[in-house]
């Protein structure tokens, strides 16, 4: 059985690269999470998980992460990604991610609305939402990523 994470941070980044995958790698580096192994998780924030602006994660660590990303090789196209984390007063929370062709502000608004809906569907009281997004206009080949990184 895996341990339950106790803290969460959010990160976002964007970058250009020669290839889609190298643009994605550079976006991860820009977000400050390029040297860890992301284990993609879905939408539940563990109970008693606290938000921290940042915390160190050792390079190569297997790291539970909810993330949205988008890569494009269409010059002039605007791409965006955002992450939203909803906290309850005393129970588990919800994480929502989004990627699309819009502004950073539109992406952040979308994840915030999705967090609110997820709490409503569960009949839970939402205490706070933390949202972070990124957008960029593609020059040649670009990627954006937004993530909620969970740690112990």
pLDDT tens string 99-122: 999 999 999 999 999 999 999 999
Q: What angle do CA 133, 68, 139 make, to 5 degrees?
A: 70
Q: Is the pTM of this model over 0.85?
A: yes
Q: Which of 43, 61, 88, 106 is catalytic?
A: 43
Q: Which domain CATH number covers 101?
A: 3.50.20.10
pLDDT tens string 40-78: 999 999 999 999 999 999 999 999 999 999 999 999 999
**Residue 37 is among the residues annotated as catalytic for this protein:** yes
Q: Going edge to edge, which strands form the sheet with 93-100? A: 44-45, 93-100, 78-88, 126-137
pLDDT at 65: 98
**Residue 97 is among the residues annotated as catalytic for this protein:** yes
**Residue 43 is among the residues annotated as catalytic for this protein:** yes
Q: What angle do CA 88, 94, 98 make, to 5 degrees?
A: 140
pLDDT tier at 90 (50, 70, 90 boundaries)?
Answer: confident
pLDDT tens string 6-46: 999 999 999 999 999 999 999 999 999 999 999 999 999 99
Q: Which of 48, 52, 97, 128 is catalytic?
A: 97
* Number of structural domains the chain divides into: 1
Residue 5 Cα distances to 18, 82, 98, angstroms: 35, 21, 22
**Residue 35 is among the residues annotated as catalytic for this protein:** no
Average of pLDDT values for 117-142? 98
Q: Which residues pair with 97 in a beta bridge?
A: 83
> Containing domain of residue 55, as a range?
7-151
Residue 1 counted as domain residue: no
Residue 2 counted as domain residue: no
Q: Which of 16, 35, 42, 139 is catalytic?
A: 42
Q: Which of 35, 37, 48, 52 is catalytic?
A: 37
């Amino acid at each position: 059985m895996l341990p339950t994470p106790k803290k969460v941070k959010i990160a976002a980044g964007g970058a250009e690269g020669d290839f889609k995958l190298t643009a994605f790698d550079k976006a991860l580096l820009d977000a400050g999470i390029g040297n860890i192994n992301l284990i993609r998780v879905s939408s539940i924030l563990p109970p008693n998980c606290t938000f921290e602006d940042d915390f160190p994660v050792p390079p190569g660590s297997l790291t539970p992460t909810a993330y949205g990303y988008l890569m494009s090789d269409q010059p002039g196209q605007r791409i965006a990604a955002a992450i939203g984390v909803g906290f309850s007063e005393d129970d588990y929370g919800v994480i929502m991610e989004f990627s699309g062709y819009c502004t950073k502000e539109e992406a952040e608004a979308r994840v915030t609305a999705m967090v609110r809906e997820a709490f409503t569907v569960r009949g839970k009281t939402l205490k706070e939402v933390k949202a972070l997004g990124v957008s960029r206009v593609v020059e040649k080949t670009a990627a954006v990523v937004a993530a909620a990184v969970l740690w112990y």
